Amino acid sequence: MLLIIPGKLGLVGYWDAVAFDEFAGKKKRPNKALVDIMKNYMANKSFSRGIETLGAEASMVFVGNTQHTLPYMLKHADLFDDLPEAYHDSAFLDRIHFYIPGWEVGIIRGEMFSEGYGFVVDYLAEILRSLRNHDFSQRYAEHFELLSDISTRDRDSVNKTFSGLMKILFPHKEATESEIEEILRFAIEGRKRIKDQLLRIDQTYEPVRFGYTRVGQKEPTLVQTIEERQYPQHYHQDRPGEMEEEESPNIQEKEGLSNDSPSKPRSLGEQHLVFQENQRGVSYDDLFGSYLKGAGKITITDPYIRLFYQARNLMEFLETVAKLKSDDEEIEVHLLTVEDEFKGDQQKEYLIQMQESIWGAGIRLDWEFDETNALHARHIITDTGWKIMLDRGLDIFQHYDMNQTLC
């Protein structure tokens, strides 16, 4: 791998990145000496062959599939469980900068491809290669500081990931403070995912507070992985009773459903719910159910109930309303939206179909189209006094191909 011909430099000397596909597999038996060489290279950018020490600059990427679901791995093993035994080594894994959660990555869909003109791959590759000579790792230093708990190796991992993402997303260096913060949080999360698994594999590792502070402020913002919030009962089993404090004292972040019964009563109050990209386990029942219960009239304001999947979101919301009412009740649901400029007839057909379908469940659906061209607000208002502000309206779920899903 590293040397093809004795005495001559191999792939890592000629390429900027070397990817290992199908890297997982417990039955694989890699040479232990090769693993040691890779550990040394990943730490020092050099390796020895005989009496000679060679250096190179290529990054390494390891791609593989897991055999179990995320909660299963968190409960019974760790996120590196499917690696060959020789690579399931804390010293090797600690040299990895970032763990990409493949379970959050959606299947490639048609709308993901760009339209119009773009760079050919060879030209784009040369751009990215030239950016390797630039260092963006401290672009956040003007606004944020990493917590002192973070070790040098962890800090280097975060900085390198941050630098790479900044080069790709903002090569012109014109990112806002909020955009820089989002990239920094993402870089920290990927390294934290690795370190938290190392705590399970090797008990000699100490827990680390991963987070940052704003320049001039002392209050830390702690970063958590999505799976840490979604499955806390499994994530922290190696540290009983330990839970990270919330990232912000003024914002309640709800990260998916628990395994408790959805009918479990809870006290109602004002709250601010924040969700992360690719988060799972969220439903209209859990989000809105308690606040819709007992309402006789519900008004939905959402300018984007136009395409089929958006109409389906509305239908699922109406199903939530139907679950909450008794058979002898009737509920009025009024929709204020905007007529589709190009597919208005199809949009009306969707609404009529929903109106006819939901009527049998005791829900009267009607709608009106705003003609002021000034409708931007998205919210739900009930006659029981609740107003639910929606940043994205009902369109909170990622779009998917309706022809390739079983549910």
- Least-confidence region, from 97-111, 246-260, 361-375: 246-260
Asked if the model's pLDDT at residue 241 lies above 50, the reply is no
Q: Are residues 71 and 174 in the same domain?
A: no
Q: Are residues 231 and 305 in the same domain?
A: no
Contact 337, 302 (CB under 8 A): yes
> Residue 56: inside a domain, yes or no?
yes
Structure tokens at 170: 């903002």
Residues 6+ apart with CB under 8 A from 167: 128, 131, 134, 136
> Residue 147: inside a domain, yes or no?
yes
Check which CATH number belongs to the domain holding 331 and give it: 3.30.870.30
> Residue 310: inside a domain, yes or no?
yes
pLDDT the model gives residue 246: 42
Q: Are residues 69 and 133 in the same domain?
A: no
pLDDT band at 6 (very low <50, low <70, confident <90, very high): low
Q: Are residues 24 and 126 in the same domain?
A: no
Residue with tokens 């199908």: 22
Q: How far apart are CA 25 and CA 23, in angstroms?
A: 7
Asked if the model's pLDDT at residue 407 lies above 70, the reply is no
Structural domain containing residue 330: 284-404
Beta bridge partners of 269: none
pLDDT the model gives residue 267: 67
Asked if the model's pLDDT at residue 404 lies above 50, the reply is no
Q: Are residues 27 and 89 in the same domain?
A: yes
The total of other beta-carbon atoms located within 10 Å of residue 378's CB is: 19
- Mean pLDDT, the chain, integer: 86
Residue type, 240: P
Beta bridge partners of 221: 212
> Residue 136: inside a domain, yes or no?
yes
pLDDT: is 31 or 243 the higher one? 31
For residue range 53-87, list pLDDT tens digits in order. Answer: 888 889 999 999 988 888 889 988 999 999 999 99
Structure tokens at 213: 């502070």
pLDDT: is 231 or 365 the higher one? 365
Q: How far apart are CA 243 and CA 229, in angstroms?
A: 9
Asked if the model's pLDDT at residue 406 lies above 60, the reply is no
Asked if the model's pLDDT at residue 351 lies above 90, the reply is yes
pLDDT band at 244 (very low <50, low <70, confident <90, very high): very low
Boundary of a domain, candidates 235, 250, 266: 235
Asked if the model's pLDDT at residue 269 lies above 70, the reply is yes
For residue range 358-394, list pLDDT tens digits in order. Answer: 988 889 999 999 999 888 889 999 999 999 999 888 8
Contact 211, 225 (CB under 8 A): no
Asked if the model's pLDDT at residue 114 lies above 90, the reply is no
Q: How far apart are CA 381 and CA 398, in angstroms?
A: 24
pLDDT the model gives residue 46: 86
pLDDT the model gives residue 24: 93
Percent of the chain topping pLDDT 90: 57
Three-class HEC string of the chain? CCCCCCCCCCHHHCCCEEEECCCCCCCCCCCHHHHHHHHHHHHHCEEEECCEEEECCCEEEECCCCCCCHHHHHHHCCCCCCCCCCCCCHHHHCCCCCCCCHHHCCCCCHHHCCCCCCCCHHHHHHHHHHHCCCCCCCCCCCCEEECCCCCHHHHHHHHHHHHHHHHHHCCCCCCCHHHHHHHHHHHHHHHHHHHHHHHHHCCCCCCCCCEEEECCCCCEEECCCHHHHHCHHHHCCCCCCCCCCCCCCCCCCCCCCCCCCCCCCCCCCCCCCCCCCCCCCCCHHHHHHHHHCCCCEEEEECCCCCCHHHHHHHHHHHHHHHHHCCCCCCEEEEEEECCCCCCHHHHHHHHHHHHHHHHCCCEEEEEEECCCCCCCCCEEEECCCCEEECCCCCCCCCCCCHHHCCC
Asked if the model's pLDDT at residue 224 lies above 90, the reply is yes
Calculate mean pLDDT across residues 179-199. Answer: 97
Q: How far apart are CA 58 and CA 14, in angstroms?
A: 8
What is the count of structural domains for the chain?
Answer: 3
Boundary of a domain, candidates 95, 126, 159: 95
pLDDT the model gives residue 401: 61
Q: Are residues 153 and 206 in the same domain?
A: yes
Percent of the chain topping pLDDT 70: 87
Q: Are residues 129 and 226 in the same domain?
A: yes
pLDDT the model gives residue 8: 66
Beta bridge partners of 172: none
pLDDT the model gives residue 293: 93
> Residue 125: inside a domain, yes or no?
yes
> Residue 389: inside a domain, yes or no?
yes
Q: Are residues 84 and 138 in the same domain?
A: no
Q: Are residues 29 and 76 in the same domain?
A: yes
pLDDT the model gives residue 99: 97
Beta bridge partners of 364: 332
> Residue 246: inside a domain, yes or no?
no
pLDDT band at 259 (very low <50, low <70, confident <90, very high): very low
Q: Are residues 190 and 87 in the same domain?
A: no
Calculate mean pLDDT across residues 146-153. Answer: 95
Calculate mean pLDDT across residues 234-240. Answer: 69
Question: Is this structure's pTM higher than 0.85?
Answer: no
Q: Are residues 309 and 394 in the same domain?
A: yes
Asked if the model's pLDDT at residue 199 lies above 50, the reply is yes
Boundary of a domain, candidates 214, 235, 256: 235
**Dihedral pair phi/psi, residue 43, rounded to 5°:** -90, -35
pLDDT band at 249 (very low <50, low <70, confident <90, very high): very low
Q: How far apart are CA 337 and CA 354, in angstroms?
A: 15
For residue range 288-311, list pLDDT tens digits in order. Answer: 999 999 999 999 999 999 989 899
> Residue 257: inside a domain, yes or no?
no
Going by C-alpha positions, the residue among 331, 274, 338, 329 that lies closest to residue 297 is: 331
Calculate mean pLDDT across residues 45-53. Answer: 77
